[in-house]
């Protein structure tokens, strides 16, 4: 395995070529033909194709291709990867994180990565070590068995678990750097990894497990504690299941009727009624989320309870919640606990984004927990589809193999999940599966010393509450990591919270900031300029909050329709300066909300806390 060079050494090698600074403005051309890369010999890997496309060379390969002996299906596995090499390279390399349970190869970069490729970045991606459906570029094998885990079937193979958890990223990035050096005759000047959700987890894993591999890490809505978040998915569905009046086709509680959109809108209005103004501006956005405590929210929920408060008495009528719904929300927001009251994941911040306005898009709280596309008699909440496959197959050790559908399928597993006897298996190792899911997936270490010593920079952005990953969990991790690192974590790692944002974008939120975030990480890594704020835009030009109705008219007036707001480095929050347009980031300051963390920070060690969500 080639030893990776430290950034300073690489910069020296750039300088030795006579280029000004680390990155030559004119860029670098390849010294060989694209097609010629197919002849490159690599350890335990093959380059399957190298195709000159418009502006770049598209390399497809596979690492450690094998037939599994552990998988009863004896499927083919391997880390499929794509590396895209621009005709004019400006010295940067970026690894794209994956998504969901991976299993597909993004062979040609699109979106932000496509823009970067066009700007002269080399861009790599991998498939997490398995393919959900046949991909002719890789040889048309697939690792999906509907009778045994479906698209999460790969987790029946211990090596495939590691490849998904961390190995695919490490191996792909390492081999990509080797190919880059061959192709351009020059080492990558600066290496980055960027991803959202499971890709955000990939990015945080990289900073902890492979601290010398990347100089800059962008981790968006990271599933950094995915196995424990998976427990919350099951917890939420079981709680919502108690509200269900019907069964679905698998004989399980039918969830879509438990919290239809008009009920989520009421919940959002109730939360806003007591927390919106805490940041000094009524605008539909709760910036001072730490101050939005149960002490404030519980009376508001009571006020919006049908027949109790002044908001009517008709369940599901769009003006009030039933007392059972209010009870369910309190239980869900407290987070999963076992029968001893020990917290199994995290509490959640109260956030107005529990309701995603129809015009706002994105996978909001309702999409994860209640319903995506309505289908009569079918549960489509993401927790009951993607999440229901991951929990038994990937998060449990040994994997619990079930069919995808039917009365004994994945959904039934979720509704019968036992928080005393099943939950501990996220920490279990066996001879056949020597790494627990927490071992191969989680990025919960608070010791980032090696990454810091390497000179690495980390930017995390997270929704305050996105329906699958708790913003309170990543904020708590950041506080603990900051303490472990001596209180100056901000020198190399900053967290930016985004109120109202759905998972990886969407919601009534200033969710457009990827480009500014990328500029922030390159400025920090390459020029030492730490981001004091990241300007985020809301591209919707109309407010999703109609004047009057459930929401105070000022909400609509002050909401940043078509405008910008700053995202602030945690624990700072955005506060209106008091004058000027409320849809212009220039009129907001990043302020210290004077949040005082309590012993809640030690919840993982601190049993018997009864899971108080407190503050």
Based on the number of CB atoms within 10 Å of its own CB, is 560 exposed (0-12), middle (13-18) or buried (19 or more)? buried
Residue closer to Ca ion (CB basis): 393 or 535:
535
Query: How many C-beta atoms surround the C-beta of residue 245 within 10 A?
Result: 8
Shortest distance, position 551 Cβ to Ca ion, whole Å = 12
Q: Distance from CA of residue 467 to its chain's centroid?
A: 11
DSSP code at position 117: H
Q: CB within 8 A of 507, min separation 6: which ones?
A: 353, 356, 357, 360, 361, 362, 364, 463, 500, 501
Using CA atoms, how far apart are residues 138 and 605, in angstroms rounded to an integer? 45
Shortest distance, position 565 Cβ to Ca ion, whole Å = 10
Binding mask 222-261 for Ca ion (x = CB under 5 A): ----------------------------------------
Examine the residue annotation and report whether 606 is marked as an active-site residue of this protein.
no
Residue closer to Ca ion (CB basis): 121 or 551:
551
Query: Cis omega before residue 571 (within 30°)?
Result: yes
# residues near Ca ion by CB under 5 A: 5
- At how many degrees (to 10) do helices 323-334 and 261-275 cross? 70
Q: Which of 151, 197, 437, 470 is catalytic?
A: 197
Chain positions 334 to 393 lying near Ca ion, rule: CB under 5 A, are: none
Using CA atoms, how far apart are residues 478 and 495, in angstroms rounded to an integer? 7
Tokens standing for 112?
A: 């932000």
Using CA atoms, how far apart are residues 252 and 250, in angstroms rounded to an integer? 5
Shortest distance, position 325 Cβ to Ca ion, whole Å = 24
What are 363's strand-pairing partners? 503
Residue 460: in which H helix or E strand, if any? Answer: strand 457-463
DSSP string, 546-597: -SSTTS-HHHHHHS-TT-EEEE-BTT-EEEE-SSS-TT-GGGEEEE------
Residue closer to Ca ion (CB basis): 272 or 370:
272
Give the position of tokens 């002719």.
Answer: 136
Shortest distance, position 300 Cβ to Ca ion, whole Å = 15
Give the position of tokens 């004058």.
Answer: 579
Shortest distance, position 288 Cβ to Ca ion, whole Å = 8
Residue closer to Ca ion (CB basis): 177 or 565:
565
Examine the residue annotation and report whether 503 is marked as an active-site residue of this protein.
yes
Shortest distance, position 281 Cβ to Ca ion, whole Å = 5
C-alpha distance from residue 164 to each of 17, 103, 340, 517 (Å): 38, 9, 33, 26
Q: Which of 145, 466, 511, 552 is catalytic?
A: 466
Residue closer to Ca ion (CB basis): 4 or 285:
285
Residue closer to Ca ion (CB basis): 126 or 279:
279
Based on the number of CB atoms within 10 Å of its own CB, is 149 exposed (0-12), middle (13-18) or buried (19 or more)? buried
Q: Under DSSP, is residue 290 helix (H, G, I), strand (E, B) or coil?
A: helix
Residue closer to Ca ion (CB basis): 276 or 552:
276
Tokens standing for 154?
A: 């790969």
Chain positions 264 to 303 lying near Ca ion, rule: CB under 5 A, are: 276, 279, 281, 283, 285
Residue closer to Ca ion (CB basis): 304 or 576:
576
Q: Which of 68, 151, 503, 543 is catalytic?
A: 503
Residue closer to Ca ion (CB basis): 275 or 443:
275
- 56-67 and 45-53 strand pairing: antiparallel
Query: How many C-beta atoms surround the C-beta of residue 26 within 10 A?
Result: 9
Residue closer to Ca ion (CB basis): 288 or 305:
288
Q: Under DSSP, is residue 599 helix (H, G, I), strand (E, B) or coil?
A: helix
Binding mask 135-174 for Ca ion (x = CB under 5 A): ----------------------------------------
Chain positions 197 to 216 lying near Ca ion, rule: CB under 5 A, are: none
DSSP code at position 442: -
Examine the residue annotation and report whether 197 is marked as an active-site residue of this protein.
yes
Shortest distance, position 351 Cβ to Ca ion, whole Å = 11
Q: CB within 8 A of 536, min separation 6: which ones?
A: 498, 510, 511, 512, 513, 516, 564, 565, 566, 567, 585
Shortest distance, position 276 Cβ to Ca ion, whole Å = 4
Shortest distance, position 140 Cβ to Ca ion, whole Å = 53
Annotated catalytic residues are 197, 466, 503
Binding site residues, Ca ion, CB under 5 A? 276, 279, 281, 283, 285
């Amino acid at each position: 395995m080639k030893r990776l060079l430290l950034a300073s050494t690489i910069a020296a090698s750039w300088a030795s070529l006579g280029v000004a600074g680390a990155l030559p403005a004119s860029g670098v051309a390849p010294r060989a033909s694209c097609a010629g890369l197919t002849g490159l010999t690599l350890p335990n890997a093959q380059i399957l194709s190298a195709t000159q496309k418009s502006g770049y060379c598209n390399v497809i390969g596979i690492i450690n291709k094998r037939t599994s002996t552990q998988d009863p299906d004896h499927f083919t596995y391997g880390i499929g990867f794509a590396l895209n090499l621009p005709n004019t390279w400006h010295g940067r390399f970026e690894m794209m994180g994956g998504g969901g349970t991976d299993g597909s190869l993004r062979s040609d970069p699109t979106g932000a990565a496509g823009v970067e490729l066009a700007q002269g970045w080399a861009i790599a991606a991998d498939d997490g070590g398995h393919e959900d459906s046949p991909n002719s570029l890789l040889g048309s094998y697939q690792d999906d068995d509907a009778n045994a885990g479906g698209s999460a079937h790969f987790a029946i193979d211990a090596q495939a678990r590691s490849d998904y958890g961390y190995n695919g990223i490490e191996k792909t990035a390492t081999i990509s750097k080797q190919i880059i050096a061959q192709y351009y005759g020059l080492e990558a000047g600066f290496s980055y990894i960027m991803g959202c959700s499971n890709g955000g987890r990939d990015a945080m894993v990289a900073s902890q497990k492979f601290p010398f591999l990347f100089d800059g890490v962008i981790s968006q809505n990271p599933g950094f504690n995915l196995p424990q978040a998976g427990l919350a998915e099951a917890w939420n569905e079981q709680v919502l299941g108690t509200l269900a009046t019907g069964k679905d086709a698998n004989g399980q509680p039918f969830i879509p009727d438990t919290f239809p959109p008009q009920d989520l809108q009421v919940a959002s209005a109730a939360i806003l009624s007591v927390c919106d103004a805490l940041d000094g501006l009524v605008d539909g956005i709760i910036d001072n989320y730490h101050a939005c405590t149960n002490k404030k929210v519980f009376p508001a929920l009571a006020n919006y309870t049908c027949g109790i408060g002044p908001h009517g008495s008709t369940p599901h009528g769009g003006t009030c919640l039933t007392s059972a719904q209010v009870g369910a929300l309190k239980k869900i927001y407290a987070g999963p606990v076992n029968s001893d009251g020990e917290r199994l994941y995290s509490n959640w911040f109260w956030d107005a984004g529990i309701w995603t306005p129809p015009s706002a898009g994105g996978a909001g709280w309702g999409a994860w927990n209640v319903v995506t596309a309505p289908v009569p008699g079918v549960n489509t909440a993401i927790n009951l589809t993607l999440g229901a496959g991951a929990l038994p197959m990937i998060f449990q050790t040994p994997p619990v193999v079930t069919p995808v559908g039917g009365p004994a399928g994945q959904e039934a597993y979720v509704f019968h999940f036992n928080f005393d006897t099943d939950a501990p298996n996220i920490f279990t190792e066996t001879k056949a599966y020597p790494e627990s899911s927490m071992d191969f997936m989680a990025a919960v270490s608070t010791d980032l010393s090696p990454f810091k010593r390497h000179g690495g920079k980390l930017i995390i952005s997270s929704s305050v509450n996105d329906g699958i990953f708790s913003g309170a969990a990543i904020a708590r991790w950041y506080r603990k990591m900051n303490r472990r690192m001596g209180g100056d974590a901000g020198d190399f790692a900053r967290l930016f919270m985004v109120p109202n944002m759905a998972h990886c974008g969407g919601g009534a939120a200033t969710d457009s900031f990827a480009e500014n975030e990328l500029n922030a990480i390159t400025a920090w890594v390459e020029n030492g300029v730490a981001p004091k704020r990241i300007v985020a835009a809301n591209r919707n030009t109309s407010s999703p909050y109609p004047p009057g109705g459930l929401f105070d008219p000022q909400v609509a007036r002050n909401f940043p329709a078509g405008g910008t707001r700053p995202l602030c480095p945690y624990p700072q929050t955005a506060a209106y300066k008091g004058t000027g347009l409320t849809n212009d980031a220039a009129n907001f300051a990043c302020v210290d909300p004077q949040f005082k963390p309590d012993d809640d920070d030690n919840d993982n060690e601190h049993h018997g806390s009864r899971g108080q969500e407190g503050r």
